[in-house]
């Protein structure tokens, strides 16, 4: 696997405002990197620097081996970029916009028409091809911009919130598309939708306050959650108190929560200390105490919980 | 160069897909025509030339050209499309050139559409057509200078109204510096050399050099260098303001 994006100590200040500070990571071909972080964390700023729109205050990065500040045009030729908010010329039609982008990429004639057709089919834009972009709905606008960004089949894709504003079917479609394209590309997407990470990303970077807080596979990150390997069980309400007593006496259980109670049943969650595997011990202990278990399962942990834990200090920075 | 042309085509289509193009052309033709005939005394003068028509151009351009140039960058920055444009493999200077060229060609189209006036003088008398052609060329060059300044100012703001007002003000200064009134104001205290320099940078002085005689190289060089310098500054401003 070869490295297509390589970022070293990328830093950006807007006057005195620090937006990105010493961000370092690299992305290989075949990877889909989910770029997460609270509002104002510096995701878009990092992406804008990679796309050659903003000049870094310090640090450097290469895309396909080309330096983003010294060889900006070479970088831009190999890059598909979806800017935040998917800006596009409202007076152009989707077809016009793609032809314009193709023109600036030096793609003409039959090759251009073929690439445009592929892109249009991938994002299902056939029905709106001839309508001015300003008359399209938000989701269609986003898809038009996406179509533009993948038009030239670039090796590196940088997409700032690609599924924002799409309906569930289209989100599904776009995620599939990303997975299909992932094999021979390096893809970076920023998102606030954590399910998306599990759905498409092979790797996650969480940034907060301009710095990288975590860099791991989604599954690894979830193990850092307090809910990793937590055991959830359902039982008759009458047994709940008994179970709680047994569980809180166990060494590997840090906390017992009652998470629901209805129709005469109660649901309890036992959080595992250090994420240890506690299912069998919990099962045995509770059964021995005479609790009738109606259901029992283990949680993997939650990305949103890890996200909160890692970024709570830098949350709502703009406020 | 290919990119300049791609951007130029897109910008021209942007003009014609909004009412701006038609409003501009109609107003330009109506004003140019009516002023020539009524204010300039075109018919009474008994002369078969277009002096009155061309004399009026600087003043017409003073507010029409900033209206043409104001959207070039301000709109792009306001709507965020500048990020789309500048992340395509295109140099800032190419974008600046393409946009300017589109607006300049558009002004040229409006100018060409005044040809009925030319036909009229030829019908009424026997004008010096070489002179008229030179004056048309001079007028187009002057329009380019107004435009280059307007494009530059447009890059400094996201607000098209501010761009319009500021461009008109800057262009006004370039126009006025040739008027006798301004000249005598400077002459009262400034050295003669300075007074002459101020007159030299005037659009009026240079334009009248072009309408009154055969093509004056100095005036042509003046307008072309003004356009060149403005476009270089324009490029620098776009680069500088990108992130804001
Ligand atoms: N042009 C600018 N001028 C000044 N400050 C800016 C500018 N652009 C971004 N910032 C600041 O940089 C920081 C990072 O912004 P950025 O847009 O990269 O965040 P983000 O992670 O993309 O957030 P979101 O999730 O809301 O899109 C913020 O504090 C923001 O206010
Ligand atoms: Mg953002």
Q: Which residue has the higher pLDDT, A32 or A279?
A: A32
Which domains, from first to last, does chain A contain? Answer: 3-222 (3.40.50.300), 231-299 (3.30.70.2250)
What are A141-193's pLDDT values in tens digits? 999 999 999 999 999 999 999 999 899 999 999 999 999 999 999 999 999 98
Most confident of A79-83, A276-280, B39-43: A79-83
Per-residue pLDDT at B188: 76
Per-residue pLDDT at A317: 46
Residue A290 confidence class, pLDDT cut points 50, 70, 90: confident
| Mean pLDDT, rounded, of chain A | 90
* B79 touches A at CB < 8 Å: yes
For residue A68, give the chain B residue with the closest CA.
Answer: B87
Mean pLDDT of A237-261: 83
Tell me the pTM: 0.87
Contacts of A89 in chain B (CB under 8 A): 10, 14, 81, 84
Residue closest by Cα to atom 16 of ligand 1: A42
Chosen for mutation from B21, B89, B241 (greatest number of chain A CBs closer than 10 Å) is B89
What residues in chain B have per-residue pLDDT under 70?
Answer: 39-49, 178-182, 197-201, 213-215, 244
Count chain A–chain B contacts defined by CB atoms under 8 A. 65
Per-residue pLDDT at A231: 87
Residue closest by Cα to atom 30 of ligand 1: A40
Q: Which residue among A10, A44, A318 is best mutated to probe the pocket of ligand 1, counting the most ligand atoms within 8 A of its Cβ?
A: A44
* A52 touches B at CB < 8 Å: yes
Is the Cβ atom of A45 under 6 angstroms away from ligand 1? Answer: yes
pLDDT over 60 (residue A316): no
* A105 touches B at CB < 8 Å: yes
pLDDT over 80 (residue A136): yes
Per-residue pLDDT at B231: 97
Instruction: Using the mean position of ligand 1's atoms as its centre, give its distance from the Cα of residue A103 in Å.
Output: 31
Instruction: Using the mean position of ligand 1's atoms as its centre, give its distance from the Cα of residue B87 in Å.
Output: 18
Is the Cβ atom of A311 under 6 angstroms away from ligand 1? Answer: no
- Give the closest of A76, A79, A88 to B81, CB-based: A88
pLDDT over 90 (residue A135): yes
* Lowest mean pLDDT across A14-23, A28-37, A46-55, B122-131: B122-131
Per-residue pLDDT at A319: 38
| Cα separation, A192 vs A304, whole angstroms | 10
Number of domains in chain B: 1
Per-residue pLDDT at B153: 96
Contact indicator for A108, A136 with CB cutoff of 8 Å: no
Q: Which residue has the higher pLDDT, A102 or A319?
A: A102
Return the HEC string of chain A: CCEEEEEEEEEEEECCEEEEEEEEEEEECCCEEEEECCCCCCHHHHHHHHCCCCCCCEEEEEECCEECCCCHHHHHHCEEEECCCCCCCCCCCHHHHHHHHHHHCCCCHHHHHHHHHHHHHHCCCHHHCCCCHHHCCHHHHHHHHHHHHHCCCCCEEEEECCCCCCCHHHHHHHHHHHHHHHCCCEEEEECCCHHHHHHHCCEEEEEECCEEEEEECHHHHHCCCCCCCCEEEEEEHHHHHHHHHHHHCCCCEEEEEEEEEECCEEEEEEEEHHHCCCHHHHHHHHHHCCCCCCEEEECCCCHHHHHHHHHHHHCCCCC
Per-residue pLDDT at B203: 75
Q: Any idea which ligand is nearest the CA of A14?
A: 1
Contacts of B91 in chain A (CB under 8 A): 73
Per-residue pLDDT at A220: 81
ipTM > 0.90 for the complex: no
Instruction: Using the mean position of ligand 2's atoms as its centre, give its distance from the Cα of residue A315 in Å.
Output: 14
Q: How far is B235 from chain A (nearest CA, A)?
A: 14
* Interchain CB distance below 8 Å, A53 and B2: no
* B10 touches A at CB < 8 Å: yes
Its domain, for residue B187, covers 2-240
Q: At which residue do the structure tokens 């997407």 appear? A: A189
* A55 touches B at CB < 8 Å: yes
For residue B76, give the chain A residue with the closest CA.
Answer: A89
* A191 touches B at CB < 8 Å: no
Is the Cβ atom of A83 under 6 angstroms away from ligand 1? Answer: no
Q: Which residue among A40, A51, A53 is best mutated to probe the pocket of ligand 1, counting the most ligand atoms within 8 A of its Cβ?
A: A40
What are A194-212's pLDDT values in tens digits? 888 888 999 999 999 889 9
């Amino acid at each position: 696997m070869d490295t297509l994006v390589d970022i070293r100590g990328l830093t950006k200040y807007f006057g005195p405002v620090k937006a990105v500070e010493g961000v370092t990571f690299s992305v290989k071909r075949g990877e889909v990197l989910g770029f997460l972080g609270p509002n104002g964390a510096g995701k878009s700023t990092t992406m804008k620097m990679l796309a050659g729109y903003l000049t870094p205050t310090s640090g450097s990065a290469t895309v396909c081996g080309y330096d983003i500040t010294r060889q900006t045009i070479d970088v831009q030729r190999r890059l598909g970029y979806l800017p935040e908010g998917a800006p596009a010329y409202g007076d152009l039609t989707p077809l016009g916009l793609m032809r314009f982008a193709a023109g600036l990429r030096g793609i003409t004639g039959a090759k251009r028409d073929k690439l445009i057709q592929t892109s249009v089919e991938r994002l299902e834009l056939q029905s709106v091809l001839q309508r001015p972009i300003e008359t399209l709905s938000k989701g269609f606008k986003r898809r038009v911009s996406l179509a533009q960004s993948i038009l030239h089949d670039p090796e590196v894709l940088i997409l700032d919130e690609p599924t924002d504003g799409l309906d569930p079917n289209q989100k599904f479609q776009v995620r599939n598309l990303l997975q299909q394209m992932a094999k021979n590309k390096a893809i970076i997407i920023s998102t606030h939708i954590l399910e998306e990470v599990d759905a498409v990303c092979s790797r996650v970077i969480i940034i907060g306050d301009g710095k990288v807080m975590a860099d791991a596979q989604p599954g690894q990150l979830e193990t850092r959650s307090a809910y990793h390997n937590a055991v959830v069980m359902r039982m008759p309400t009458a047994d709940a108190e008994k179970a709680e007593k047994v569980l809180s006496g166990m060494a590997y259980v840090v906390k017992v929560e009652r998470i629901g109670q209805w129709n005469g049943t109660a649901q309890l969650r036992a959080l595992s200390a250090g994420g240890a595997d506690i299912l069998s011990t919990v099962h045995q202990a509770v059964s021995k105490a005479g609790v009738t278990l109606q259901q029992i399962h283990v949680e993997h942990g939650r990305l949103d919980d890890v996200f909160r834990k890692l970024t709570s200090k830098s949350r709502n920075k703009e406020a | 160069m290919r990119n300049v042309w791609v951007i130029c085509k897109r910008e021209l289509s942007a003009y014609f897909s909004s009412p701006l193009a038609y409003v501009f052309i109609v107003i330009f033709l109506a004003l140019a025509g009516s002023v020539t005939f009524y204010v300039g005394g075109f018919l009474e003068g008994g002369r078969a030339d277009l002096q009155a028509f061309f004399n009026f151009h600087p003043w017409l351009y003073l507010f029409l050209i900033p209206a043409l140039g104001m959207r070039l960058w301000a709109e792009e920055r306001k709507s965020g499309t500048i990020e789309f444009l500048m992340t395509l493999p295109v140099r800032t200077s190419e974008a600046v050139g393409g946009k300017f060229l589109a607006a300049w060609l558009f002004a040229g189209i409006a100018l060409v559409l005044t040809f009925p006036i030319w036909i009229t003088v030829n019908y009424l008398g026997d004008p010096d057509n070489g002179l008229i052609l030179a004056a048309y060329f001079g007028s187009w060059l002057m329009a380019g200078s107004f435009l280059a300044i307007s494009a530059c100012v447009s890059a400094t703001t996201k607000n098209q109204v501010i761009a319009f007002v500021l461009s008109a003000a800057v262009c006004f200064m370039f126009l006025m510096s040739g008027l006798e009134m301004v000249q005598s104001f400077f002459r009262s205290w400034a050295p003669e050399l300075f007074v002459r320099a101020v007159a030299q940078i005037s659009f009026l002085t240079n334009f009248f050099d072009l309408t009154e005689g055969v093509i004056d190289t100095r005036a042509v060089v003046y307008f072309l260098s003004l356009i060149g310098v403005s476009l270089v500054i324009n490029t620098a401003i776009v680069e500088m303001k990108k992130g804001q």
